[in-house]
Chains A and B, each alone.
Chain A
């Protein structure tokens, strides 16, 4: 299994490669990718340097073009595909049918990976993308149990990449309008979820804090209580008589314990989430996963996830908690 790591900046990119990533995925500095945050992502010069750095070490660079262009903006997205090809990227990660179609006809030798934003959860859906665009790989949404991942892999339509670690989207990717509903900015169209400009923190006299997203109260924290970034799906709300994390707690996905099963299922690549995180996160997480993959390759039968790996990953996690997410039926 290949280790695919995120980078939102040149230092994070270098950290990922140096820590043993087989491939690193990055984005341009615009809304063509789903981490269109101010101050993040790569200039043209950064990318030339990154491609050279990766290729000199026999690693790969993927460019995420995983937002959906509206009719007047498709030209900009097509140019982004052209730029990715000209840079010598090893693949683009895309979801929009028109964009995949353009890439397949204009740059047939540039590999196309179906982004998780494509919401493809079955081998039948994957067949559509393969027949239509000859995709080389597909990233599965974080909604399938491990048994379901095994079945999708067994259908053998296209090599499968799954999320292994990072902040957890609990909705089907590509089909979540919660940020869009509250802020008008959507992952699909604008490449952002809960944009920083919509977030308002408020300190109260008693030391408690509340956080709003465009006026909507997402959560309130007691003095000293850890507070995470406010996305609608990780807020506390009132349902019935109770106030609780009605959708999900601030937590991260961690599949270290599932590694042998994902490998046996035939998963071709493990994806780490977190282009919005810094070089320290990327380096630490990539190092743990490199060690885990190497340990598994050396003695598949003897593999156990080490406590130190778990501790490192927990220290990098949202809310310092981790979960198997939808891979484990009990979570659902």
Chain B
């Protein structure tokens, strides 16, 4: 099983991002995803910067993938996407059908990202025809779905591409045209002042009784709870997961990668407090914990 550093989800200052990836060059990674997936206004790094970082990873033998935006609205974003797909050096992660179409037109192989809606074998087969080399499990899909997919593929005699699972990080649950960070700060999106740069791990949203619930990250909404599949790594191996996706966080990333390396070497790991296994066991992460009393901090 391979370990991938997922695309960055948050907006960090240029220097912090460059330093993060300088460090990451020394981490035991097999794959690295680079580029902006959330908001086209986040431009501390440009495509040329990501390509340069990518070259450094390629030099040390790490597979490089350039990730695309999950939500495209403006013509300027499509123009950026064209440059990304046609970069000439690296394959891409398609996080929207627009990227699939451009990759198909240009003959560029791609990874199918978690925000594509791929729910069955027929849809996988079509994307493989279009050039998909690996599929990241959709955010709400887990072990049981993958079992069903393998069974159906076998019955139809269809070979599945390698499968990647989100194994660490906050789950990207929703996207909107609206910027929720700007809204929380009483700013318009067009005058946001790039303030999400002040929230390097997002802006916490709690219920009115103090239960930590979601994380606001610009136009994206994430789970507050961090997904950690290290305690169920043997199940991931049984399910034939090819690649583990660990989403970047500003602190402790080497320790997170170390945790997964340990798990892959057979160490039995216990769940970390405040972490969960996301959708791996089928039901919604909160629904499966639904009967438990929420952590209440008082009104």
A: residues with CB less than 8 A from B are 68-72, 74, 95-99, 101-102, 117-122, 124-125, 127-129, 131-132, 142-145, 148, 151, 170-172, 174-178, 180-186, 188-189, 198, 214-220, 233, 236-240, 242-243, 246-248, 326, 329-332
Q: Is the interface of A mostly helix, strand, loop or mixed?
A: mixed
Interface CB pairs A-B, < 8 A, 13: A71-B121, A125-B96, A128-B97, A145-B73, A172-B71, A181-B223, A181-B285, A182-B284, A189-B140, A216-B207, A216-B294, A217-B294, A237-B214
Instruction: Looking at the assembled complex, report how far the CB atom of A132 sits from the nearest CB atom of chain B, in whole angstroms.
Output: 7
Given the known interface contacts A119-B117, A214-B290, the answer about A239 and B205 at a Cβ–Cβ threshold of 8 Å is: yes
Whether B287 and A184, one on each chain, are in contact in the complex, defined by CB atoms closer than 8 angstroms, is: yes
Q: Which of chain A's residues have a CB closer than 8 A to the CB of B230?
A: none
Whether A178 and B73, one on each chain, are in contact in the complex, defined by CB atoms closer than 8 angstroms, is: no
Q: Is there a chain A Cβ closer than 8 Å to B74's Cβ?
A: yes
Given the known interface contacts A96-B117, A214-B286, A216-B213, the answer about A240 and B184 at a Cβ–Cβ threshold of 8 Å is: yes
Q: Which of chain A's residues have a CB closer than 8 A to the CB of B75?
A: 151
Q: Which of chain B's residues have a CB closer than 8 A to the CB of A129?
A: 97
Instruction: Looking at the assembled complex, report how far the CB atom of B226 sits from the nearest CB atom of chain A, in whole angstroms.
Output: 14
Q: Is there a chain A Cβ closer than 8 Å to B171's Cβ?
A: yes
The number of residue pairs between A and B whose CB atoms lie closer than 8 Å in the complex comes to: 224
Q: Is the interface of B mostly helix, strand, loop or mixed?
A: mixed
Q: Is there a chain A Cβ closer than 8 Å to B180's Cβ?
A: yes
Q: Which of B23-31, B52-60, B148-156, B248-256 contacts A (4 or more CB under 8 A)?
A: B148-156
Whether B174 and A178, one on each chain, are in contact in the complex, defined by CB atoms closer than 8 angstroms, is: yes
- Picked from B190, B204, B214, B293, the residue with its CB within 8 Å of the CB of A329 is B190
Q: Which of chain B's residues have a CB closer than 8 A to the CB of A95?
A: 117
Whether A217 and B123, one on each chain, are in contact in the complex, defined by CB atoms closer than 8 angstroms, is: no
Given the known interface contacts A98-B121, A98-B126, the answer about A240 and B203 at a Cβ–Cβ threshold of 8 Å is: yes
Instruction: Looking at the assembled complex, report how far the CB atom of A118 sits from the nearest CB atom of chain B, in whole angstroms.
Output: 7
B interface bracket (residues with beta carbon within 8 Å of A) = 35 or more
Given A96-B123, A120-B97, 18 other A-B residues pairs in contact with their CB atoms under 8 A: A68-B119, A70-B119, A72-B148, A72-B151, A72-B152, A96-B119, A117-B117, A121-B96, A122-B98, A124-B98, A124-B101, A132-B126, A176-B174, A178-B214, A181-B285, A220-B208, A238-B205, A332-B178
Q: Which of chain A's residues have a CB closer than 8 A to the CB of B74?
A: 148
Whether B152 and A119, one on each chain, are in contact in the complex, defined by CB atoms closer than 8 angstroms, is: no
Closest to B145 in A: A70
Whether B140 and A186, one on each chain, are in contact in the complex, defined by CB atoms closer than 8 angstroms, is: yes
- Picked from A242, A246, A329, the residue with its CB within 8 Å of the CB of B180 is A246
Instruction: Looking at the assembled complex, report how far the CB atom of A179 sits from the nearest CB atom of chain B, in whole angstroms.
Output: 8
